[in-house]
Amino acid sequence: MRTLRWLRSTAASAVVAVAALGVLGGGQAAAQGKQLTLCWAAWDPANALVELGKDFTKQSGIEMKYEFVPWTSYADRFLNELNSHGKLCDLIIGDSQWIGGAAENKWYVKLNDFFDKEKISMDDFVPATVVGYSQWPKNTPNYWALPAMADAVGWTYRMDWFSRPEIQSAFKAKYGRDLAPPKTYDELKQIAEFFQGREIDGKKVYGAYIFTERGSEGITMGVTNVLYNYGFAYDNPKKPYQMQGIVNSADAAKGLEFYKELYKCCTAPGMTNAYMQEGLDAFKSGQVAMQMNWFAFFPGLYKDPNVGGDKIGFFVNPAGPKGHFTQLGGQGISVVATSDRKDDALAYIKWFAQPAVQQKWWQIGGYSALKAVVDAPDFPKSAAFAPQFLESMGIVKDFWAEPSYAQLLLDMQKRVHDYVVADKGTAQQALDLLVKDWTKVFKEQGKEVASQ
Amino acid sequence: MTTILQPDHATMPGVSTPAKSRDARRVRGLSDRAIAWLFVAPTIALLLAINIFPLIWMIRLSFTNLNLSMSYLPLRFVGLDNFRDILTDEDVWVRLQTTAQFVISSVVLQVVVGFGLALLINRQFRGHSFWTTIILLPMMLSPAVVGNFWTLLLQPQIGPFNHLISLFTGVPPSSFSMTGQVALAPWTIVLVDTWMWAPYVMLICLAGLRSIPDYIYEAAEVDRASAWRQFWSITLPMTVPFLMLAVLFRAIENFKMFDMVNLLTSGGPGSTTELVSISLKRAAFEKWRTGYSSALAIILFVTVFGAANIYVKTLNKVKQR
């Protein structure tokens, strides 16, 4: 009898437990209906976005979930997700070079109708970011993303070292000019040579930090800053995809040689496979006088207790003999076509595009591309690096954004790393081989590639 | 006289007679063979789903132009074009050479070190178990951990490895980079792989050494054979099959090596340590050249499969001897 009673009570408890689980499950399902997943890279601005997103949740009741992946596997991870039509991301802040493939493969929702309906005008955003992050085909009014995070390559330097009288006088004695942030790459190399191996505060320091990473995009994102300014272009503006004599021009080869010289003369030992994080580490540990890196990291560096504040200075990518450009970074925010919550995702974009939200975005560590924010009279004074950022966004150039960008990028990674780090062949040979590689890729893509 | 009592199946409760079992089977309509298949079927289905089907699918894709980053392009049958492209691509041959150099160097070194360690560990000495555990530790680590761990150890400015070399040679520690210099990087990946996997070879060799009966050595002692003679005439010949097995396992594993090298050097500097598996990963999951990478995977599979088959046949011959 007792056993029977025990069985009955156990069964009743089980029913109650199952019912409770059901209710909880149901509740979770309801909450999931009001949840959006945003995918991006794991870096400083992503933390700022989490902070910003709390306002969206407060206003809309939609919970934000984030999927942040380190830069080195960011492209692999999310392109795989998009390729496989996965449902992990409702919103994605995809790299600028993905836009062609994302549009052609219909991974992103086209936003033209939404922009028209919500009166979001692309004229309100910095033109370079609209072309770089939103449009495909480029320079046509077809929008696949809202410019979310404006970015470019810039430089930081140790202002405290530059301002020391003994260093200044030693520099002037050697080069006959004042030590100041460089305006040209020749000046930069001089300064880097000057600091290389010098002892400061009892510690050996090095001249410059530049990108050399092999696996993803590092060395390409570094070398292009020099190549553009030495006359390199991706193709003939009058004949699209005609690369012979443009990509591998004598000027471009000189630019590549210069990057190698800079790497050999003035970087810290062991920087053979280094990208953003290694640069930050080198600068924060007081190892280098100047650092190439993305503006996205500059708010964090400015706040650093050891090297930030009045110890750090910023300058725009220096000019070269053939021009003054810098590498575009940054991303646009898009709605993933396979998402089940497209309406909520669009609501997020509508909220994100508001001037007040963009203003806050800039204030907490993101980089707004909204003209109302960056063209405001007080913007240059709003942060120590704001004037350089503003100037940089006016001179940006981007890598190919074709659907085949990944192949084009990896080919360039290989050819440049082979020459710069592995000492294989000459600069001219490296660029000749690059033209050969890229021609093959474009032909596979069905493009007509003129040889001359 | 012992009387063996046979159990009476017909009268024992719960035990059916053969006649009854046959009836039961007839009722269910399942033969012994069918029941056997029923049990094996889930395993076979799983094997087909996760091994055979992808293999057949990959073979099919290898004859197409599929590129997942341009999946909007029409899928075309390109015949043997992918195979021709691979076999005529100078870069692929360079990658295969790099892989062969890595496999040969690392396996030779691992066999020498592993066999040497096995000879040492095979003796009884104080702290024997402790040292055995210490030696086995590296192979218990994940290759990703090993890659990151050695990246730090080999860092030219703060890594202890360069300082250790500097201590013995007087060369400034930051004047060379083990992972960043063309001359050193290939040896670095061999070194790290040997550090990790020589203990595994040691274990296999130890099994071989322990399988040699003591009486053979005793007979050799009686014949006054020197230790050196005993090694060459007894120890080495009798552990050769084990060594060959270790070579087979390590060669197959190192031919597929990806994770550790990718973390240590990313295939660099330049393409100096770009093994064929790294090339394959780049083609398949970074460039998204699915058709091309499927063809490359098939070529590699056939190469490893063929070489392993020849090797196993040789191993069997050695065992028979």
Residues of chain B with pLDDT under 50: 1-16, 27
Contact status of A410 with chain B (Cβ, < 8 Å):
yes
A277 falls in which pLDDT band (50, 70, 90)? very high
Question: What is the spatial distance between Cα B242 and Cα B205, in angstroms, rounded to a whole number?
Answer: 6
Chain B residue with the nearest C-alpha to that of A416? B270
pTM for the full predicted model: 0.85
> How distant, in Å, are the alpha carbons of A21, A131, A411 from that of A137?
50, 9, 23
Of B71, B180, B285, the CB nearest to A273: B180
What residues of B are in contact with residue A75 (Cβ under 8 Å)?
Answer: 286
Question: What is the spatial distance between Cα A300 and Cα A298, in angstroms, rounded to a whole number?
Answer: 5
Instruction: State the pLDDT at residue B320.
Output: 78
B226, B263 contact by CB (below 8 A): no
CA distance B223 to chain A (A): 59
- Give residues with Cβ within 8 angstroms of B73, minimum separation 6: A445, A446, B65, B67
Judged by CB atoms closer than 8 Å, whether chains meet at A215 and B156 is answered as no
Residue A410 has pLDDT above 50, yes or no: yes
Residue A349 has pLDDT above 90, yes or no: yes
Instruction: State the pLDDT at residue B12.
Output: 47
Instruction: State the pLDDT at residue A208.
Output: 98
Instruction: State the pLDDT at residue B21.
Output: 57
> How distant, in Å, are the alpha carbons of A186, A276, A370, A388 from that of A209?
16, 10, 31, 19
Instruction: State the pLDDT at residue B18.
Output: 55
What residues of B are in contact with residue A274 (Cβ under 8 Å)?
Answer: none
Judged by CB atoms closer than 8 Å, whether chains meet at A273 and B269 is answered as yes
Q: List, for residues B197-229, the tens digit of each pLDDT value.
A: 999 999 999 999 999 999 999 999 999 999 999
Judged by CB atoms closer than 8 Å, whether chains meet at A105 and B268 is answered as no
Chains A, B: CB contacts under 8 A, how many?
A: 105
Q: List, for residues A281-323, the tens digit of each pLDDT value.
A: 999 999 999 999 999 999 999 999 999 999 999 999 999 999 9
| Amino acid in position A250 | A
Residue A400 has pLDDT above 60, yes or no: yes
| Amino acid in position B99 | T
Question: What is the spatial distance between Cα A354 and Cα A356, in angstroms, rounded to a whole number?
Answer: 6
Contact status of A338 with chain B (Cβ, < 8 Å):
no
* Alpha helical stretches, state H, A67-177: 71-83, 99-104, 112-118, 127-129, 159-162, 165-175
With vertex at residue A149, the alpha carbon angle to CA A279 and CA A408, rounded to the nearest 5 degrees, is: 70
Contact status of A105 with chain B (Cβ, < 8 Å):
yes
Structure tokens at A186: 């020749």
Of A75, A214, A444, the CB nearest to B268: A214
State residue A92 phi and psi, 5-degree precision.
-135, 135
CA distance A426 to chain B (A): 13
Closest by CA position to A338, among listed A107, A34, A59: A107
Which positions in chain B have a beta carbon within 8 angstroms of at least one beta carbon in chain A? 65, 67-73, 155-157, 174-177, 179-182, 262, 265-272, 282, 285-289
Judged by CB atoms closer than 8 Å, whether chains meet at B266 and A273 is answered as yes
Contact status of A83 with chain B (Cβ, < 8 Å):
yes
Contact status of A285 with chain B (Cβ, < 8 Å):
no
Residue A203 has pLDDT above 90, yes or no: yes
Of A268, A406, A446, the CB nearest to B157: A268
Question: What is the spatial distance between Cα B85 and Cα B80, in angstroms, rounded to a whole number?
Answer: 9
Structure tokens at A107: 């991974």
Question: What is the spatial distance between Cα A164 and Cα A178, in angstroms, rounded to a whole number?
Answer: 12
Residue A102 has pLDDT above 50, yes or no: yes
Residue B28, classified by CB atoms within 10 Å of its CB into exposed (0-12), middle (13-18) or buried (19+), is exposed
Closest by CA position to A41, among listed A264, A366, A321, A435: A366
Residue A375 has pLDDT above 60, yes or no: yes
What residues of B are in contact with residue A419 (Cβ under 8 Å)?
Answer: 270
Judged by CB atoms closer than 8 Å, whether chains meet at A269 and B182 is answered as no
